[in-house]
């Protein structure tokens, strides 16, 4: 009798243990391996800026493949496979938040790379902060992305610096005393940099004679451009995205507005076939392929060989974001969110393909910008702008 009862209790206990382990196993993705590091990538693969999404995915896959082809990321004497979990945010803030929550709560990633555009990065940054998951936005330049956050970092310079660069470029390099701005008032990136440009240009002694706005999705800018034409502006600043700037430039030329056009880093993903009306224009961005030094030169060569085209600034920044993440993991010897955050916060300087970055107690790097000019449809280095 005693033996029978004991066996019965044993089998009940064994069954309970198996149920517990089964429940725990159900909390993790079925394809998750012990020796892997899962990284979430949030990119606008579809939507209004698909070139940004394409560059993001290509650079992310290249960064992961290089590590995996070398046997994995070495962390505290062990090697780990890099597994990317890529989600499309469709360039919509609500979708970006939803996929971020999915990556954190269902895919169990240890870090997020992206989103790229500030209008998506800002709300996702709050999700990452609340979940205590480190996030690196390669391309977001709006200060609100990282402001008052301990788990959010970026690779790009910020808009106050970029706005100052282009405002002073207009006043000092182009000798303009009257400027106009056309910007998307509903997008945090466009609106923020437009306001900074206006402030700095006027502080330098110039006058912003037209400060025209539109809302996301508009395609007819002729009313605003007519006002700009009649304002006497000598230069037009367009801090807008790849799907908007070519159309704005075309409509400006159609109404006879023939003044220099200048832009910001959002121009970097404009396709060659869409640059016809931008000939001679200038814009600020993160690196120049035609003056590349190491490690940028090797990155450009490898990327071009792999994908058949030159990497734009989004690709370069995304690649650097992975470099920062890998360095943080290795410095702590642990691929766990809190350790990664500590590792990222401890990086004081980093040499990436977009140049040398210095971090000083925040998630924002101090780094240089370049001004490029559109020449024969190509982006050509014009000058360096240092902080």
Sequence ranges of the domains in the chain = 36-156+291-367, 159-285
Q: Which residues contact 368 (CB under 8 A, 6 or more apart)?
A: 157, 355, 356, 384, 385, 386, 387
Nearest residue to 153 (alpha-carbon basis) of 302, 337, 378, 341: 341
Long-range own/partner contacts, residues 303-308 (CB < 8 A, 24 or more apart)? 303/58, 303/59, 303/62, 306/58, 306/62, 307/58
For the cut 90, the answer to whether the pLDDT of residue 19 exceeds it is: no
C-alpha dist (Å) from residue 52 to 138, 162, 351: 11, 19, 23
Query: Tens digit of pLDDT for each residue in 30-79?
Result: 455 679 999 999 999 999 999 999 999 999 999 999 999 999 999 999 99
Query: Using the 8-state DSSP alphabet, how is residue 364 labeled?
Result: P
For residues 59-86, b (16+ Cβ closer than 10 Å) or e, as one string?
Answer: bbbbbbeebbeeebbebeeeebebbbbb
The predicted pLDDT at position 318 comes to: 98
Pick the CATH number of 36-156+291-367 from 1.10.287.470, 3.40.50.2300, 3.40.50.410, 1.10.3720.10: 3.40.50.2300
pTM: 0.89
Q: Kindly state the percentage of the chain with pLDDT values over 70.
A: 91
CA distance 313 to 266: 9
36-156+291-367 matches 159-285 in fold: yes
Q: Has residue 336 got a pLDDT over 70?
A: yes
* 80 vs 1, more confident: 80
Contact 223, 248 (CB under 8 A): no
How many Å apart are CA 215 and CA 222, to the nearest integer?
A: 14
- Mean pLDDT of the residues in the chain: 92
What is the structure's pLDDT at 2? 37
- The string of pLDDT tens digits covering residues 112-159 is 999 999 999 999 999 999 999 999 999 999 999 999 999 999 999 999
Which backbone phi and psi does 159 adopt, to 5 degrees? -60, -35
CATH class in words for 159-285: alpha beta
Residues 231-275 have pLDDT tens digits of 999 999 999 999 999 999 999 999 999 999 999 999 999 999 999
């Amino acid at each position: 009798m005693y033996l029978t009862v004991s066996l019965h209790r044993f089998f009940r206990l064994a069954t309970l243990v198996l149920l517990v382990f089964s429940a725990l196993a159900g909390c993790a993705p079925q394809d998750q391996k012990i020796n892997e590091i899962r990284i979430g990538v949030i990119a606008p693969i579809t939507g209004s800026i698909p070139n940004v999404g394409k560059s993001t995915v290509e650079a992310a896959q290249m960064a992961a493949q290089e590590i995996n082809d070398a046997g994995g990321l070495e962390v505290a004497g062990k090697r780990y496979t890099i597994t990317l979990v890529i989600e499309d945010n469709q360039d919509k803030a609500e979708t970006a938040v939803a996929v971020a929550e999915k990556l954190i709560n269902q895919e169990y990633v240890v870090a997020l790379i992206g989103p790229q555009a500030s209008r998506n990065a800002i709300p996702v940054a709050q999700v990452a902060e609340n979940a205590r998951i480190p996030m690196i936005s390669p391309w977001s330049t709006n200060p609100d992305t990282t402001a008052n956050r301990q788990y959010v970092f970026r690779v790009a310079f910020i808009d106050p610096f970029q706005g100052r660069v282009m405002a002073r470029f207009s006043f000092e390099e182009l000798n303009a005393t009257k400027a106009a701005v056309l910007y998307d008032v509903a997008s945090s990136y466009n609106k923020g940099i437009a306001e900074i440009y206006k402030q700095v240009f006027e502080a330098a002694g110039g006058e912003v004679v037209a400060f025209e706005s539109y809302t996301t999705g508009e395609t007819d800018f002729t009313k605003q451009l007519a006002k700009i034409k009649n304002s006497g502006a000598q230069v037009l600043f367009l801090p807008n995205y790849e799907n908007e700037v070519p159309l704005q430039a075309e409509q400006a030329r159609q109404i006879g507005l023939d003044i220099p056009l200048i832009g910001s880093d959002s121009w970097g993903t404009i396709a060659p076939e869409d640059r016809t009306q931008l000939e001679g224009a200038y814009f600020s961005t993160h690196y120049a392929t035609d003056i590349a030094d190491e490690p940028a030169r090797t990155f450009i060569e490898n990327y071009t060989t792999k994908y058949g085209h030159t990497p734009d600034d989004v690709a370069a920044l995304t690649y650097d974001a992975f470099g920062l993440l890998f360095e943080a993991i290795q410095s702590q010897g642990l691929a766990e969110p809190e350790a990664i955050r500590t590792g990222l916060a401890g990086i004081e300087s980093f040499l990436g393909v977009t140049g040398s970055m210095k971090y000083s107690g925040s998630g924002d790097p101090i780094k240089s910008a370049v001004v490029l000019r559109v020449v024969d449809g190509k982006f050509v280095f014009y000058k360096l702008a240092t902080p």
